[in-house]
């Protein structure tokens, strides 16, 4: 039975290739389309995607039946190989279309508005102005703590100052900064 069926499908395919025999194609379509669809859905394709791919495979059979060689394989093997290759191609296309939203290059960079930039520049100028009003002995300790990342104990050891003096001067510097920055900006 298997050899007879194989010969039968080979004859039908030859009729499609040579004379565009629609009846022969309909028999082939009715036999293979449901099997291809089932095979594709078992491999994770959605039903509508599988149906579309089956249509593509059967269209290839209609247009390129002359490429089928019954001496090399059965028609079933030939069609399933086409379906497999098309499924792989579809998966590759889907992967390249589905880009991860977390991709750094795809992240939208929020560009600050002119108002924000102006406010930032104004704030920076005020901070620089406030820092210029801090006495040098306090500013040295601020630089060591915040720009060099030293702990209060490390600052005390490197300067020879008592730990309490270091903490007190840093606290006084912050109080002065807070007072200056809390004052209304000139022109407000």
Residue 186 has pLDDT above 60, yes or no: no
Domain residue extents for the chain: 2-97, 114-182
Architecture of domain 114-182 in this structure: Orthogonal Bundle (1.10)
Residue 109, pLDDT score = 62
Alpha helices in 133-186 (DSSP H): 136-142, 152-159, 163-182
> What whole-number distance in Å separates Cα of residue 48 and Cα of residue 41?
9
Confidence of residue 4 (pLDDT cuts 50, 70, 90): confident
Tokens of 118: 């102006």
Average confidence score pLDDT of the chain: 84
Q: Give the number of other Cβ atoms within 10 Å of residue 126's Cβ.
A: 15
Instruction: Specify the 3-state DSSP secondary structure of 112.
Output: coil
Average pLDDT (39-44) is: 91
Residue 1, pLDDT score = 47
Instruction: Flag the least confident range among 43-52, 81-90, 97-106, 171-180.
Output: 97-106
Average pLDDT (162-183) is: 86
Average pLDDT (19-42) is: 94
Q: Are 54 and 40 in contact (CB under 8 A)?
A: yes
The kind and range of the H/E element at 114 are: helix 114-132
Q: What are phi and psi of 71, to 5 degrees?
A: -75, -25
Residue 93, pLDDT score = 82
Confidence of residue 22 (pLDDT cuts 50, 70, 90): very high
Q: Are 140 and 169 in contact (CB under 8 A)?
A: no
Average pLDDT (83-87) is: 92
Is it true that 2-97 and 114-182 share their CATH fold? no
Helix orientation angle between 47-64 and 22-42, rounded to the nearest 10 degrees: 140
Percent of residues, the chain, with pLDDT higher than 70: 84
Q: Is the pTM of this model over 0.75?
A: no
Q: Which of 56-70, 82-96, 134-148 ranks highest by mean pLDDT?
A: 56-70
* C-alpha distance from residue 50 to each of 28, 30, 37, 75 (Å): 18, 16, 5, 19
Residue 54 has pLDDT above 70, yes or no: yes
* CATH number belonging to domain 2-97: 1.10.1740.10
Q: Are 50 and 41 in contact (CB under 8 A)?
A: yes
User: Exposed e or buried b for every residue in 132-157, given b needs 16+ CB within 10 A?
Assistant: eebeeebebbbebbeeeebebeebbe
Residue 104, pLDDT score = 60
């Amino acid at each position: 039975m298997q050899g007879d069926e194989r010969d039968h499908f080979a004859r039908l395919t030859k009729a499609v290739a040579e004379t565009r025999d629609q009846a022969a194609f309909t028999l082939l379509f009715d036999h293979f389309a449901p099997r291809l669809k089932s095979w594709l859905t078992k491999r994770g394709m959605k039903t509508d995607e599988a149906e579309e791919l089956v249509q593509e495979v059967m269209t290839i059979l209609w247009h390129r039946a002359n490429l089928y060689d019954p001496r090399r394989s059965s028609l079933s093997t030939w069609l399933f190989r086409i379906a497999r290759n098309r499924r792989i191609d579809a998966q590759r296309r889907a992967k390249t279309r589905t880009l991860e939203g977390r991709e750094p290059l795809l992240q939208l960079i929020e560009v600050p508005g002119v108002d924000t930039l102006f406010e930032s520049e104004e704030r920076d100028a005020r901070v620089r102005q406030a820092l210029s009003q801090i006495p040098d002995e306090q500013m040295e300790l601020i630089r060591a703590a915040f720009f060099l990342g030293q702990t209060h104990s490390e600052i005390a050891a490197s300067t020879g100052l008592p730990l309490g003096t270091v903490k007190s001067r840093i606290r006084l510097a912050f109080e002065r900064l807070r007072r200056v920055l809390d004052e209304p900006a000139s022109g407000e």
